[in-house]
Amino acid sequence: MIQLIRRLIFAWKYKRAVRTATRLAELTGMRYLVIYLNGSLKVVPKQTIRELVRRHRFRKGVTVDDIERRALFITK
């Protein structure tokens, strides 16, 4: 029962994050990713991820492609 409630909450948060990402993508024209980071869903523009990888904010050897592959949703 607890697992069901957790799944429902995650599904609700995921839908909300996807909706936010698509709205922002339509508004700005940039590509947005929904990623699971630090225990929660984050909506992040791809440009920011490139910047963070360049500044070595992720583990050594991590590329933008690796993050894109692990993303839960990517806007067109």
Domain that holds residue 15: 2-74
User: In the prediction, which pLDDT does 20 show?
Assistant: 97
Domains identified in the chain, total number: 1
* Alpha-carbon dihedral angle through residues 1, 70, 47, 23, given to the nearest 10 degrees: -40
User: In the prediction, which pLDDT does 11 show?
Assistant: 97
| 3-class secondary structure, 32 | strand
Residue bearing tokens 């791809």: 46
Average pLDDT value for residue range 59-63: 94
Average pLDDT, the chain: 96
Residue range 15-28, pLDDT digits in tens: 999 999 999 999 99
| 3-class secondary structure, 15 | helix
